[in-house]
Amino acid sequence: MPGPTYSAKELLDRLISFDTTSHKTNLPLIRFVEDYLAQHGLASSLTFNEERDKANLYATIGPQDIGGIGLSGHTDVVPVAGQNWDTDPFRMTERDGRIYGRGTTDMKGFLACVLAAVPMLQSRRLSKPVHILFSYDEEIGCTGVRPMIARLGNDLIKPEMVIVGEPTGMRVVTAHKGPVRWDVDVHGRAVHSSMAPLGVNAISYAGRLLGELAAIEEHLANTSRDTRFDPPYSTLQVTLIKGGTATNIVPVSCNFGFEVRALPGLHTNAIEQRVKDYASRLLAPMHAVAKEAGISIQQTNCVPPFAVDADSPVVSLALELAESNHTHAVSYATEAGLFQDAGTPSVVCGPGDIAQAHTANEWIEASELDRCMEFLGRLSDRLSA
């Protein structure tokens, strides 16, 4: 007996109702998807995090022994705290052709379309399989998808290519920047501010490091450029800082974080080494006063920049399905670079406008869901031709 058939809009309504903010579990949503797929005769394989309160889901439609096309998307969403919503963010609201709710654009709209396409794909005799890859914790650094990628080619079939359904307005994206983040901790010696020479001012030394980062930022803006991106160069910014105890104490600690949004081809390890070399030159005057003083620089996350060859089969397929002749580049990051580094050529193409992602009153045009369903329909036709 065939499983239930729902529209993308109906499935999006259900997916929005699960509050999958990144610091919460995504298991209720994953269990819903697992049950939905089971009703269509599809088995799911789950990859859990260490705490087993989050999971990735992998399922295959069609042949079980060859590669095929992966459809990848994340289940987590960003917080709504501090945002002024006009509607309940976890209840779908439709008005004037727009569908409102957290995750409508980023990126439960794509997930809903993939699930709505399951009955159609199941009804076809596919020459190649379609793999569903739903992940967790993309919003905190694409961390969740990594253990699932590690299983591809081992106990899970490795797709020949992957389409990542982040919001692109159904345009085919073949390159994006990659965010790399570091944590810097400067430890000095605290003394009464009237006896400042006996202490090591952690904020002052952190300030010198910030000056070096500003020089690197200027260098990046004036060297390698790629006009496909906006801005057309790799960016560096200090994103967090804290330090000090009181106005009459030489501060013992200062901590800050910085990020590079790297163009494809930029070697961020060279940037890290430059910062570490500069920090090492600061240690001598620090140790002259306090042997316990020090500077720690740790990389906390890396999402690789992404670029796929223009003549890759995944690019020609995606352009055919999108009925387009043009490719694009974006400055935000996705898991496409992780799939690419693991040997699976990828593109990014999905419904919605990235300008709506993470905003209050997040919305997607209902017509975008229709366009995505047409894209998946052409995929079904292509694989069953």
Query: What SS3 class is residue 46?
Result: strand
Residue with structure tokens 């990859």? 47
Q: Catalytic annotation on 155?
A: no
* DSSP structure class, residue 42: -
Q: Catalytic annotation on 374?
A: no
- Cα–Cα nearest to 256, from 279, 226, 290: 279
Question: Per the residue annotation, which of 13, 34, 137, 138 is the catalytic one?
Answer: 138
Contact 225, 207 (CB under 8 A): no
Question: Per the residue annotation, which of 76, 139, 160, 335 is the catalytic one?
Answer: 76
Query: What SS3 class is residue 230?
Result: coil
Contact 17, 90 (CB under 8 A): yes
- Cα–Cα nearest to 174, from 312, 342, 72, 17: 312
The pair of three-digit structure tokens given for residue 153, joined into one six-digit string? 């080619």
d(CA 171, CA 325): 10
Note the maximum CA span of the chain.
83
d(CA 164, CA 149): 13
DSSP letter for each residue of 76-131 = -B---TT---SS-TTS-EEETTEEESTTIIIIIHHHHHHHHTHHHHHTS--SS-EE
Between β-strands 235-243 and 178-187, what pairing exists: parallel, antiparallel or unpaired?
unpaired
Residues facing residue 385 across a β-bridge: none
* Catalytic machinery residues: 76, 138
